Structure 1
């Protein structure tokens, strides 16, 4: 009875108390939707796109005029005494001093100034085109972030799925080991075996319980990792979809054939090349003149204080003016020439980088396809291996129940089946992840039903 109680305790620990709450199934589509809506990296990438969108707008183009308004006010107050030394009145008396107290003067002004660059050597035109290309590049960079995040998402999602299936396999193995204890105890009571068989079964139950507990812990950690990617409550309970389907070979070949047109790294190199081309044209604009227009509309009011000789005056003025200017920097010390030469060199470098990216992408696709096909073949082999070991285990169980093989031989058949099942789970998700990595290289990761 003591042996039975010990075994029951192990079973409760492995299956009961440490089995976390089951939640609803989190499908792959739901996981993608949550990641696209909540993931921090994706949010930052989308904000970068918004900044690039603002930069490419007409308000940042230089095509609009600048309008400034100015206003001013001045106030002066003078207290003065004017003396007339040696001057006499008509009656011959000395001319008295004249005091001016609180002689106030005020000046008010306001103006509206308009400046517009009519022509700047086409610099702003090409800069505007450059900003458009920069916006498209930022969209591609955001797409790359999304693709990398989805790969990270499915790497964790498939790890949760693998550990879920391993947990089920280990639970089944533990239940079989528990049944062995019961059988060994009854056989011992009837004198059909020794206590050694019971002890062996206990050891196997202990090992199976520990393996199950460790897998449960790994599963809980993996679920928290997935919740971090989805940016939601770390304690959110859920299950995952363990069904895996693979893309047909013909469809995959079509996607690979179009990879150069869709790969995000190749597209980014093309946009960068276009930006460098506009840089050359922007720098060349320094060779041409700049033509500008100006306009002014203003109002002035002067209120002068009376003096000893003149009365005070009020002078109000309205003015309107138009002007045009032409500036041509005929020689700037060679700065424009250096900038044009450097931008051309940068363009040549970008062309080389584009060719390098194409070559690397072609290599990466070939490697990824080779890895995918190899892992897919391994998965097919592991599937057959599970069937073989399942048949071997069933026959071993029959022979064990008939007493024709030992518990050690039966345990070895059980371990072989357990290893085959966990290896198949690993091979299945490795193959699917390799397929997703191949899809990313073809530029179709966001367009395929998973």
Structure 2
């Protein structure tokens, strides 16, 4: 004979997906690993970081010489007519000529007000800024993945709580039916028990929908097919020893958003110094090696006829010039409509804006940390309360069920005890999830979420 819990689980198969038991287990560590590999936000940020890293070169900063080489070859097919005085013209049809021009040149900037060195430092700062942005994206994505994973755990826990309620409801039906069979209870009480049982099954079906939605959300963050099924293998364990002072210290040192704002201030400083460098003279060294060769058809007047008409012949003339040349160029900015002064003033304003952005980021992070820590402390107190409360609720249901078995309790009181247990279990799961959310927010703000997550077994 089946136990009430087994009978309730058998009846719940219509409300539960058939693939749940066969779904592969998924730990939080595996979920984070998949997210770091396949999440699109992280992948896009890493490509931006790769571009910034590729840009950090001496050549991009203007410190290396520029070498150019060129070769030009032209061919001409000409129709020529030459006439001297009243003599008969000399005509050449299909005269050919060609030219070959080749050169290789180098230009090397020796001095530009140290702008090339400032530009190189700016490129390195841009790389650091993108690295911090990627790190912030990773931290925020890991937090989102963890929250989504623990939400699946929470929704799964609510399903287990409802299954326990259904098992109690099935016992109530069995006991009531037995009382009806011996004539100590009315059939209406059996019907009422079944109505309450079906109401709990309805809640279970709705909870299954919430669980499916939570799984789809997590799969999206992991870059997987939304319908991929899995079973969470980790539970929600809340750390209870976080210190507000330690969190604030870690924010000042390791928070990637704050570090990015500091690098942004450095970049603004480099921009201003680059504009100032444009006020200095610019010295370039130039070198070139060229080759020029021309082959042309020429008319040459050799003699005259007896009548005095000129006699000309067409000859080929070859001209070749080649050799190196070198020198230097000095450019001195004199006046450009006060544009340099305007640009430098705007750069100073941009630098002040970056300073304000840094202060705003610092204040925003401190505020967010204070709010998260206050929520963290509050949820820890509620968590302890609800952990004690769920024990009392389960004891109350067990006592009520036994008293109902002995006929010492009405169905209404038993139902109230059952609903109290469901509510207590739901509150416990919600409070535990909210406490974990606050903990994850604090770890993300302190810049230690990824390292601590990676260290977990």
Q: Distance in 2 between matches of 1:273 and 1:78?
A: 66
Say which SS state the counterpart of residue 260 (structure 1) adopts. helix
Q: What is the CA–CA distance in structure 2 between the aligned matches of 1:124 and 1:239, rounded to whole Å? A: 57
1:39 match? 39
| TM-score normalised according to structure 1 size | 0.91
Whether 1:386 and 2:386 are equivalent positions in the alignment is no
Cα contact 2:440–2:449 (8 A) shared by 1: yes
Whether the 8 Å contact between 2:386 and 2:427 is mirrored in structure 1 is yes
**Counterpart residue number, 1:53:** 53
Corresponding position of 2:261: 269
Residue number in structure 2 paired with 1:334: 338
Q: Which of residues 109, 116, 119 in structure 2 aligns to 1:124?
A: 116
Residue pairs, 1:27-426, within 5 angstroms: 27-83=27-83, 98-249=90-241, 253-309=245-301, 311-426=315-430
Q: Is the 8 A contact 2:147 2:437 kept in 1?
A: yes
Name the structure 2 match of 1:15.
Answer: 13
Deviates more, 1:322-331 or 1:342-351: 342-351
Deviations 1:61-90 (CA, angstroms, capped at 9, x unpaired): 211222222222222333344455566xxx
Is the Cα–Cα contact under 8 Å of residues 10 and 209 in structure 1 kept in the other structure?
no
1:347, 1:191 → 2: CA distance?
A: 89
CA contact (8 A) 2:28 2:234 kept: no
Shift of the 174–10 alpha-carbon distance from structure 1 to 2, 3 Å rule, reads closer
Structure 2 unmatched runs, 5+? 1-5, 302-313
Give the alignment's TM-score, normalised by structure 2: 0.90
Q: 1:206 to 1:97 in 2, by over 3 A?
A: closer
Q: CA deviation at 1:245?
A: 2.6
- Preserved CA contact (<8 Å) 1:293 1:324: yes
3-state SS of paired residue (2:278):
helix
For 1:90, the equivalent position in structure 2 comes to none
* Partners of 2:244 and 2:373 within 8 A in 1: no
How far 1:228 moved relative to its partner? 0.9
Q: Higher mean Cα deviation, 387-396 or 359-368?
A: 359-368
Q: CA RMSD in A?
A: 2.1
Q: Tell me by how many angstroms 1:343 deviates.
A: 1.4
* 1:242-261 Cα shifts (integer Å, max 9, x gaps): 42333352667534433211
The structure 1 segments of at least 4 consecutive aligned residues displaced by more than 6 Å after TM superposition are 8-11
Say whether the 8 Å CA contact 1:284–1:340 is kept in structure 2: yes
User: How many Å separate the matches in 2 of 1:193 and 1:83?
Assistant: 138
Cα distance, 1:18 vs structure 2:
3.2
Change (3 A) 1:214 1:269: same
State how far apart, in whole Å, the 1-side matches of 2:8 and 2:232 are: 27
What do residues 114-138 of structure 1 show as CA deviations (whole Å, max 9, x unaligned)? 1121111111211111111111111
After the TM superposition, which of the residue ranges 328-337 and 385-394 deviates more from structure 2?
Answer: 328-337
SS in 1 for 2:43: helix
Residue by residue, what CA displacement relative to the aligned partner does 1:231-251 show, whole Å, maximum 9, x if unpaired?
A: 112222211134233335266
In 2, Cα distance between the equivalents of 1:139 and 1:174? 52
Cα gap change, 1:17 to 1:360, in 2 (>3 Å): closer
SS in 2 for 1:61: coil
Structure 1 unmatched ranges of 5 or more: 1-7, 88-95
